[in-house]
């Protein structure tokens, strides 16, 4: 309104006061600059595709995504803040978010990047609802502070600097597999880890022997029944890398930093009269893991995440930690139970764990033959 008022005054009256003239020039400049500012405008929402069997799905919840809108008009990182654990609904929502068309936000004449929260779903009854878009609260920037406090407390209770300074781990024990809540097989194992991404595991059961070795992006397997040494395929390597992302050590020793976002979820009901503190790691590709810790002592309780099966179905996995034992100043869980969709599927039961033993790099090298692979290796 100021510009209109001044414009309607006679030219002479505007010029009789030099200060008024100067103010008018400043006001005109400011309005001209502000006219170049514009908010982010979404031009087209791509609705998520319908999953197989969508008419029979019974899923409640919301897929909530933190989406980065880049200044060049492209979609950047997408982080799943909350997910729907059936029929790949979360993945379909992420795929849709990547197809959004928009005009970037403009400040002082320059296109700038920004983030928005986008919600898909609300409740599933055979179709997707129109997405809801909201600004990212500034409070989320500090929401990792209580999460960091949870991690710090857990580290102290597991051994403090002694725990953080672990470079290698040698564990021996028994690995059991369950089906329909019944034990169907078990094997003894020796597991050698050189952090952050080298591992050799040997399984023995009866006359059967299997060796699985991973080093970063490569790996090999010795199959005793087939008497063959084979390169791991891409899926096997990815399973190993995914195991690192869901591991307690990766969380507490900070291997995720720069690759994932840490958030404090809150407290969750646990055993009678007790609650667990929950933190969440969300990686750049949207994969998320929740970790629970006892609110009083700060000990790890479980890790929870979703896994996509070979049949393209999402299942809920839980790794539950129990029986913490002090081994050389480091408290470590001697029992790790895996639950798949709430049903026991496997158990790792350690008998001994040793830390910071000298490990030869040669144990990770692929053997030239099956005969070479069968040679006993001392750790």
pLDDT in tens, 143-202: 578 899 999 999 999 999 999 999 999 999 999 999 998 999 999 999 999 999 999 999
- Which is higher by pLDDT, 214 or 17? 214
Q: What is the pLDDT of residues 320-330, one digit of tens each?
A: 999 999 999 99
pLDDT score of 260 more than 80: yes
Domain of 13, in residue numbers: 2-34
Q: How many residues are given for the chain?
A: 379
Are both 227 and 125 inside the same structural domain?
no
- Do residues 55 and 93 touch, judged by C-beta distance below 8 A? no
Are both 111 and 203 inside the same structural domain?
no
Are both 191 and 112 inside the same structural domain?
no
Taking phi first (over 0 means left), then psi (-120 to 50 degrees means alpha), and beta for anything else, what does residue 273 get? left
In the numeric block, the tokens 């970063």 are attached to 216
Are both 220 and 251 inside the same structural domain?
yes
Are both 212 and 295 inside the same structural domain?
yes
Domain final residue pick, 136, 163, 178: 136
Q: Is 33 helix (H, G, I), strand (E, B) or coil?
A: helix
Instruction: Tell whether 300 is covered by a domain.
Output: yes
Q: What is the pLDDT of residues 64-97, one digit of tens each?
A: 888 999 999 999 988 887 776 665 778 888 998 9
Spatial separation of the C-alpha atoms in residues 31 and 346, rounded to whole Å: 67
Are both 113 and 152 inside the same structural domain?
no
pLDDT score of 137 more than 60: no
Spatial separation of the C-alpha atoms in residues 229 and 223, rounded to whole Å: 6
pLDDT score of 126 more than 70: no
Domain final residue pick, 107, 136, 165: 136
Total domains in the chain come to 3
Are both 23 and 112 inside the same structural domain?
no
Are both 71 and 190 inside the same structural domain?
no
pLDDT of residue 266: 85
Instruction: Tell whether 189 is covered by a domain.
Output: yes
Angle at 109 between CA 108 and CA 113, to 5 degrees: 85
Are both 352 and 248 inside the same structural domain?
yes
Kindly indicate the confidence band of residue 269, based on its pLDDT and cuts at 50, 70 and 90: confident
Are both 234 and 285 inside the same structural domain?
yes
């Amino acid at each position: 309104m100021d510009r209109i008022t001044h414009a309607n005054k006679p030219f002479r009256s505007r010029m009789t006061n030099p200060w008024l003239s100067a103010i008018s020039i400043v006001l005109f400049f400011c309005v001209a600059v502000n006219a170049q500012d514009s908010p982010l405008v979404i031009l087209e929402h791509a609705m998520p595709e319908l999953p197989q069997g969508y008419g029979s799905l019974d899923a409640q919840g919301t897929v909530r995504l933190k989406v980065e809108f880049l200044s060049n008009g492209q979609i950047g990182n997408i982080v799943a803040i909350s997910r729907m654990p059936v029929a790949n609904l979360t993945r379909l929502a992420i795929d849709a978010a990547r197809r959004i068309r928009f005009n970037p936000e403009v400040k002082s004449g320059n296109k700038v990047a920004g983030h928005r929260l986008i919600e898909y779903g609300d409740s599933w009854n055979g179709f997707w609802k129109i997405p809801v878009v909201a600004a990212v609260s500034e409070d989320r920037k500090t929401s990792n502070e209580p999460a960091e406090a949870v991690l710090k407390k857990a580290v102290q209770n597991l051994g403090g600097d002694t725990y953080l300074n672990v470079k290698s781990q040698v564990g021996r024990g028994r690995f059991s597999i369950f089906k329909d809540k019944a034990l169907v097989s078990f094997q003894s194992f020796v597991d050698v880890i050189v952090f952050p991404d080298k591992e050799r595991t040997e399984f023995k059961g009866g006359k059967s022997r299997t060796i699985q070795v991973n080093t970063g992006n490569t790996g090999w397997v010795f199959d005793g029944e087939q008497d063959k040494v084979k390169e791991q395929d891409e899926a096997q390597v990815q399973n190993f890398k995914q195991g690192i992302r869901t591991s307690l050590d990766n969380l507490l020793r900070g291997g995720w930093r720069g690759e994932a976002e840490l958030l404090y979820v809150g407290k969750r009901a646990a055993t009678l009269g007790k609650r667990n503190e929950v933190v969440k790691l969300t990686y750049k590709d949207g994969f998320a893991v929740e970790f629970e810790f006892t609110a009083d002592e700060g000990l790890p309780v479980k890790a929870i995440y979703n896994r996509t099966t070979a049949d393209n179905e999402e299942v809920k996995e839980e790794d539950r930690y129990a029986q913490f034992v002090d081994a050389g100043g480091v408290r470590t869980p001697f029992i790790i139970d895996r639950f798949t969709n709430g049903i026991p599927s496997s158990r790792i039961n350690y008998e001994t764990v040793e830390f910071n033993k000298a490990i030869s790099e040669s144990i990770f090298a692929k053997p030239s033959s099956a005969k070479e692979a069968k040679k006993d290796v001392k750790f």
